[in-house]
Structure 1
Amino acid sequence: MRIHHSKHRTTDRWGKVWKLVCPLLALFSCGFVTNAPIWADGDLTLRVVEESTGEPTIARMELTRQLPVTTRRTSRPKTVAVAPRRSLSSGPGFVLDEFADLSLQDGAYEFKLTRGPESRVLRGTFDVQRGSEDEHQLALPRMVRMRPEGWTSGDCLLPRSPESLPMRMTAEDLHLATVIRDPDVAGRGTEKPIPRRKAGKLFGEGDSILTPEGWPTEPLWIDANVDCLAGLAFYRDLADSDWQPTASGEFASEELASLGWLAGLPADSSTRVAVENPFAWLLPIWLASEKIDGVFVLGDWLQLNESVTRVPEGRMLQPANRNDATQLGRDAEQIHWQLLESGFRLAPMAGSGDDPGNSPVGYNRLYVAGRSQASSFDSREEAVPVGTKEDWWDAAWEGCSFATNGPLMRTNLDGRLPGHVFEINPAEVGEGESVELTAEVILNVRDPVEYLEVIHNGRLHYSAKLDEFAKAGGRIPPLKIKESGWATVRVVTLHEDHYRAVISSPWYFEVGGQPRITARSVAFFKEWLGETEQRLAKLPPDQLNAFVPYVRAARKFWAERAALAGS
């Protein structure tokens, strides 16, 4: 058996290591390559260690075997996914728990080994010959450690699975996961035994995670307290005695249940609500309740090994284009911008979504940070690691975060972390005057990057390819704030199978205490509401009548918001 392995890198102008340190940017690309062949003679035992320490670790491997060329018309070889017996499945691939014994058929194989976005990707090939045996160690390089820098990762919404969640989280270097609640199942649910391990000794009972000293991912936080109804996610505090919702099954449909739950939710309830499906027809009605706290900007329409071009039962902004797999991701971002332009300050969220797809846990993830206490002499905030899962969620709802399914970013605006509200005296932005704020960025990327952008009030303030940005000394022109609004930083990759990007939570600018509301974006949601009404009108009269009060309330809300809108 001959094995080739390499630390994944991009090609052409991305094939070198970027390292630019300046007041506004530090950028690191992923690598260098080694192609020294390793010879072996048999069935294979693979071991994985972290390169910097040599310590055994847990990662995710995708392994495929090339099938022989057939006598059919095409001579293109086919491949088939391979996994060890009794392995733990994790999206595409399986968890490589420190080592794996592979009893393989003869043939050529390819593998990809990774451990979430903070590690590089290790790729390799090998051939298996009958009767051979060997053992090989793979050293997985780490690109960055985000938690020591203050940023802690989480998957905000995850379907239940019988596969061990703590093990899958560890294989993806993920610290927090929130599982969809099942009223008939306590804790994480019934998980299959972990191959070669006694789960009880590793992870305790129910939600408690008792990892041994030196466990690769620490901390591990798991909740199972979220209910999903028709595209809404209710993060319920089950100890909240002020709200005991009617069972969703007692409503004529899940759409009606989502509206009923919102209507019954007390204003002071500790339950938080997020729009898990931003394409849902009921979106403008949900927004009119003024009880929405967050919106998913990265969700199950973005899957690692599948291109999704439409959302079933969802409102598409434009006809589905099978030739543009990035469309849904860009449309979700446009909806988020329209929300911001309509005066909503909803926490951006990211996660697997409620539809099990072909992605590992935490593929879409949210990184959050605690804020250091800025002194009266220094307005600069530093990111600090959160200490509990309650602190994690407080930071997420506050918007001190960024969402990603690839690149990693640390950014601030004038020394303030994302989610900060800049309160500006109208006298500072009088005739010909403006407040200038400058962005700083630290970025780690594995994919070739299309561009880095700063978006201000829905318009492009700054855009540059990273090589052009580097040649310019990494300087972003300052924002000149003259009115209320918002800004965000994003980096979009050249990945073609779907939209792969990192998006900061917005910063907000409030001049004279007034939020930004534009007539154009309010009209966007009024049109959406009109199309929703046409759809509901096709229901039987008894079902339609149940929606009428909610539709009337939404009409009134959007009419009032239109009256508040500027140009």
Structure 2
Amino acid sequence: MHKFFSVALRFSTAVCLSGISTENAVARSEFEIRVFDQDSGQPIAVRMQLKDARGRVRRVPGAVNYDDHFVFFHRIVLQLPTGNYSFEMDRGPEYHYRTGHFTIEAGAEDSTTVHMKRFTDMKQEGWWSGDLHIERRTRDIELLMLAEDLHIGPLTTWTNRHKQTSATTTPTLEPVSFDDQAFYLPGSGRLERSGGSLLFFHTREIPSFDSFSAEYPSSVELLKRTRKFPAAHVNIDQPTSWDLPIWLASGMVHSITVATSRLGRDGIFEKKEWGRPHDETLYPNPQDFGQWIQKLYFEMLNCGLRLPPTAASGSGFVKNPVGYNRVYAYVDGELTWKKWWDALNTGRVIITNGPLLRPSVHGRAPGHVFRGQPGESLKLAIDLKLGTRDHVDYLEIIKNGRVVHVIRLDEWAAARGRLPELEFSRSGWFLIRAAAENSDTLRFGMTGPYYVEIGNTPYISRSSAQFFLDWVYERAHTIRLENTKQRKEVLKYHRAARRFWKHLVDTATVE
């Protein structure tokens, strides 16, 4: 579904370099690019990757460069040596890619205009995009978000890697609104230690990390401090974190990243220190890492825990562009910063780094709880809209952690967006997933879960609860603390977690 164009450009060459022989000077010419939205005709910001004939990435002086790409608003003048070049232009998952090539030769000057075509407008249907992990410069954030068509951007501006000797209170900042439909807010934080990684939002406080070690104090102590901030939101940044079952048992985390920053455009970012390793016999390939993350999330849902899934690019921490992994929240009416976070907290979300799913189950967004009386069976009709610029073969309906329906796209189209009906005679949950063809990484879209309650009996899987109980015991063996008092203080949260998961094992309603 890529859109292609090709231009052959000829440039005059005028080189005048003081103190340098013209025999050694590299001939350079100017190539001007202007970019517009194809439908509105308005000038827009984009991200661009430029390569020479040898496949080497070209950086552009004066632009906002990062890794293999740069962003600009509407117009850029490229000063390049003569030769052949290829490029890819992008503006987030709601626009078609534009790719092409051009040749710069001596003797002429030229310019070109590019029109970016939007194929889906999520905000017109109430879906607004956000990225929960951005570590880029504040002065660049508006341009970066515009170039990715991103609407919500909490900026991570503190981490425990930058130690300070005392706790400080961040200024009472209001979100910065720009472009009428976008917001960003500095002041979010990231805690990364042996137990894993957490993201903190709206806490208005930067803790002191002067006395922190890799294991002491327990990260639960920091979670407890967030309770004095009514709007605080704590997101589990990496579900593979060793302390995942301890955090879940604490009841003080609000969401969990499923489209994690380890999922890159062209591969998986390998970070062995990011937690508990996965079973390589079940998940042998690098791209299987994303499947392992989803398994962890499904195991959590099977324990009756209802944390919404989120997405994070980690741009500035890893090489992803801003918004590569993103979470859309469904907002009724005008977008505000608070309404977006309220929607996230209630689970009205989809996550993606490619396919764009918009589900409706009896007119309800994800996060909704369907209720029935004991002995009653609920039948649920699922409607789905899908937009994608990547090749997707099929859709999946996942019920209580298992794929129960696989629907080919031609079948979905023939049914005019109606998916197979689901029937529940007991409590549980379900969601919809689409994966694009990509052998290097996991390119996917997934809805947040819907929930079903039949009577007062919850859905709690004994095997899933046992999975996390075993994890807690395994985690305890990794702790290295010589100080007896400190070790005792840390392990008290492990004992509390063991009691929590053991209770779920003992009271489980399904195997």
TM-score (norm 2): 0.87
Question: Structure 1 or 2: larger strand share?
Answer: 2
Give the conservation status (yes or no) of the 8 Å contact 1:306–1:358.
no
Matched, 1:399 2:399: no
Matched, 1:359 2:350: no
Instruction: For 2:58 and 2:283, locate their aligned partners in 1 and report how far apart those are by CA, in whole Å.
Output: 29
* Corresponding residue for residue 503 of structure 1: 446
Q: Determine which of 299, 302, 305 is the counterpart of 2:260.
A: 299
* Corresponding residue for residue 182 of structure 1: 158
3-state SS of paired residue (2:420): coil
* Corresponding residue for residue 153 of structure 1: 129
* Corresponding residue for residue 129 of structure 1: 105
* Corresponding residue for residue 481 of structure 1: 424
* Corresponding residue for residue 417 of structure 1: 365
Measured against aligned partners, the alpha-carbon deviations of 1:260-297 in whole angstroms (never above 9, x if no partner) come to 11244548843222211100011111111111211011
* Corresponding residue for residue 404 of structure 2: 461
Matched, 1:64 2:51: yes
Measured against aligned partners, the alpha-carbon deviations of 1:148-171 in whole angstroms (never above 9, x if no partner) come to 211111111211436600000000
* Corresponding residue for residue 96 of structure 2: 120
Q: CA deviation at 1:107?
A: 1.6
Q: CA deviation at 1:493?
A: 0.6
Instruction: For 2:283 and 2:305, locate their aligned partners in 1 and report how far apart those are by CA, in whole Å.
Output: 32
3-state SS of paired residue (1:529): helix
Superposed, 1:92-103 pairs within 5 Å as 92-103=68-79
Give the conservation status (yes or no) of the 8 Å contact 1:120–1:446.
yes
* Corresponding residue for residue 336 of structure 1: 297
Measured against aligned partners, the alpha-carbon deviations of 1:430-467 in whole angstroms (never above 9, x if no partner) come to xxxx2100111000011111420111111112112313
Instruction: For 2:354 and 2:237, locate their aligned partners in 1 and report how far apart those are by CA, in whole Å.
Output: 20
Matched, 1:224 2:163: no
Q: CA deviation at 1:134?
A: 1.0
Amino acid at match of 2:445: V
Q: Cα 1:289–1:208, aligned 2, differ >3 Å: closer, same or farther?
A: closer
Instruction: For 1:469 and 1:91, locate their aligned partners in 2 and report how far apart those are by CA, in whole Å.
Output: 39
Amino acid at match of 1:60: R
Q: CA deviation at 1:178?
A: 0.7
Q: CA RMSD in A?
A: 2.5
Q: Cα 1:109–1:149, aligned 2, differ >3 Å: closer, same or farther?
A: same
Amino acid at match of 1:148: Q
* Corresponding residue for residue 497 of structure 2: 554
Give the conservation status (yes or no) of the 8 Å contact 1:60–1:90.
no
Instruction: For 1:465 and 1:496, locate their aligned partners in 2 and report how far apart those are by CA, in whole Å.
Output: 20
Matched, 1:528 2:489: no
* Corresponding residue for residue 564 of structure 1: 507
Instruction: For 1:513 and 1:173, locate their aligned partners in 2 and report how far apart those are by CA, in whole Å.
Output: 43
Instruction: For 2:282 and 2:269, locate their aligned partners in 1 and report how far apart those are by CA, in whole Å.
Output: 10
Q: CA deviation at 1:551?
A: 1.3
Measured against aligned partners, the alpha-carbon deviations of 1:393-419 in whole angstroms (never above 9, x if no partner) come to 000111111011111111111221110
Q: Cα 1:266–1:115, aligned 2, differ >3 Å: closer, same or farther?
A: closer
Calculate percent identity across the aligned residue pairs.
Answer: 30
Amino acid at match of 2:75: F
Q: Cα 1:472–1:236, aligned 2, differ >3 Å: closer, same or farther?
A: closer
Q: Cα 1:269–1:140, aligned 2, differ >3 Å: closer, same or farther?
A: closer
* Corresponding residue for residue 539 of structure 1: 481
Give the conservation status (yes or no) of the 8 Å contact 2:258–2:293.
yes
Matched, 1:233 2:199: yes
Q: Cα 1:498–1:36, aligned 2, differ >3 Å: closer, same or farther?
A: closer
Superposed, 1:13-28 pairs within 5 Å as none
* Corresponding residue for residue 283 of structure 1: 244
Instruction: For 2:280 and 2:103, locate their aligned partners in 1 and report how far apart those are by CA, in whole Å.
Output: 45
Q: CA deviation at 1:37?
A: 5.1
Superposed, 1:205-224 pairs within 5 Å as 209=176, 211=178, 215=179, 218-224=180-186
Measured against aligned partners, the alpha-carbon deviations of 1:510-540 in whole angstroms (never above 9, x if no partner) come to 111332110010011011112101111x432
Q: Cα 1:251–1:209, aligned 2, differ >3 Å: closer, same or farther?
A: closer
3-state SS of paired residue (2:60): coil
Q: How many residues align?
A: 476
Q: CA deviation at 1:499?
A: 0.8
Q: Cα 1:396–1:386, aligned 2, differ >3 Å: closer, same or farther?
A: farther
Give the conservation status (yes or no) of the 8 Å contact 2:203–2:226.
no
Give the conservation status (yes or no) of the 8 Å contact 1:369–1:401.
yes
* Corresponding residue for residue 203 of structure 1: none
Instruction: For 1:82 and 1:489, locate their aligned partners in 2 and report how far apart those are by CA, in whole Å.
Output: 40
* Corresponding residue for residue 74 of structure 1: none
Q: Cα 1:400–1:210, aligned 2, differ >3 Å: closer, same or farther?
A: closer
Q: After the TM superposition, which of the residue ranges 288-297 and 257-266 deviates more from structure 2?
A: 257-266
Which consecutive segments of 4 or more residues in structure 1 shift more than 6 A? 320-323
Q: Cα 1:479–1:255, aligned 2, differ >3 Å: closer, same or farther?
A: farther
Q: After the TM superposition, which of the residue ranges 469-478 and 352-361 deviates more from structure 2?
A: 469-478
Instruction: For 1:385 and 1:494, locate their aligned partners in 2 and report how far apart those are by CA, in whole Å.
Output: 35
Q: After the TM superposition, which of the residue ranges 44-53 and 319-328 deviates more from structure 2?
A: 319-328
Q: Determine which of 317, 322, 327 is the counterpart of 2:288.
A: 327
Instruction: For 1:100 and 1:59, locate their aligned partners in 2 and report how far apart those are by CA, in whole Å.
Output: 11
Measured against aligned partners, the alpha-carbon deviations of 1:23-73 in whole angstroms (never above 9, x if no partner) come to xxxxxxxxxx56575554453111111112322211111100023xxxxxx
* Corresponding residue for residue 49 of structure 1: 36
Matched, 1:167 2:143: yes
Give the conservation status (yes or no) of the 8 Å contact 2:258–2:310.
yes
Instruction: For 1:134 and 1:306, locate their aligned partners in 2 and report how far apart those are by CA, in whole Å.
Output: 36
Instruction: For 1:209 and 1:139, locate their aligned partners in 2 and report how far apart those are by CA, in whole Å.
Output: 29
Amino acid at match of 1:152: W
Structure 2 unaligned residues grouped into runs of 5+: 13-28, 161-172
Q: Cα 1:151–1:385, aligned 2, differ >3 Å: closer, same or farther?
A: farther
